[in-house]
Amino acid sequence: MNEKKLDPVSVIVNVYNEAETIEDEIRTIYETIVSRIPGSEFIVAEECSTDGTGEIVIRLKNELGLIHSTGTVRKGYMRALRDAFMLAKCPFIFFSDTGNKHDQSEFWELYKYRHDYGLVVGVKTGRSDQLYRRFLTFSYNKILSWYFNVDLHDADSGFRLYQKKVVDTVFNEPWVNKELISSEIMLRVVAHGFPVKEVPVSYRQRKGHSRGLPLKKIPKVILHVLKNMPRLKRELFPKR
């Protein structure tokens, strides 16, 4: 790829208690993406971790030129995500989940569609995580597709590339859900008429338990999201 034609990217990761893997992950993302695209920036939204993650990010900050987005108290995933995206200055914004779940080199499979689509989403394939999680993901996407009359295969994917104009529109709106916010963001992108591209990417099961959606939390999250679906449909797709 000719680097003279590359557009700068704001890379964002959301981090909480990832001391075991975060240094390797940050270095991999930096070497694979940020260092190869002149003018890019790397924003680490670190959520007042208690396991030493924050100290690792601070140590890497000067070495790699990281932007450390944090606060004195834990904000919660949704607010931390929004705050980090509001810091982004580049024409394209790439977000990746942490926990070594993704092959960061597959960023380039999304990047090549950057000019043609407002949002490019990595659809997880070859999953080896728990069967119940795969079943819930499949069922959730089927329900969303049917209820909102859209075609979605991995609406809550944490591996995606946005055009800045999409972020400026969608991230300045009040959001309805506190959980599974990525799927609401994707629905909002569709509702605004921005084109969306889904690209298959590989996926690995993270070590340990899920930070974002542990098993005991799933029933509450499902009820919360289902309860808000009528409100979201009225707001986003009033004619459907």
On average, the pLDDT of the chain sits at 90
Three-class DSSP category at 116 = coil
Architecture per CATH, 7-236? Alpha-Beta Complex (3.90)
How does pLDDT run across 37-83, given as a tens digit for each residue?
999 999 999 888 899 999 999 999 999 999 988 877 788 888 999 99
Mapping DSSP onto H, E and C, the string for 8-30 reads CEEEEEEECCCCCCHHHHHHHHH
Over residues 71-96, mean pLDDT: 91
Q: Is the pLDDT of residue 1 over 70?
A: no
How does pLDDT run across 162-191, given as a tens digit for each residue?
999 999 999 999 999 988 899 999 999 999
Q: Which two tokens stand for residue 43?
A: 């924003």
Contact 109, 194 (CB under 8 A): no
Q: Comparing C-alpha atoms, which of 160, 162, 208, 178 is closest to residue 80?
A: 178
| Ramachandran region, residue 228 (left: φ > 0; alpha: ψ -120 to 50; beta: rest) | alpha
Q: How far apart are CA 118 and CA 174, in angstroms?
A: 20
Question: What are the domain boundaries of the chain?
Answer: 7-236
pTM comes to 0.91
Q: Would strands 92-96 and 67-69 be described as parallel, antiparallel, or unpaired?
A: unpaired
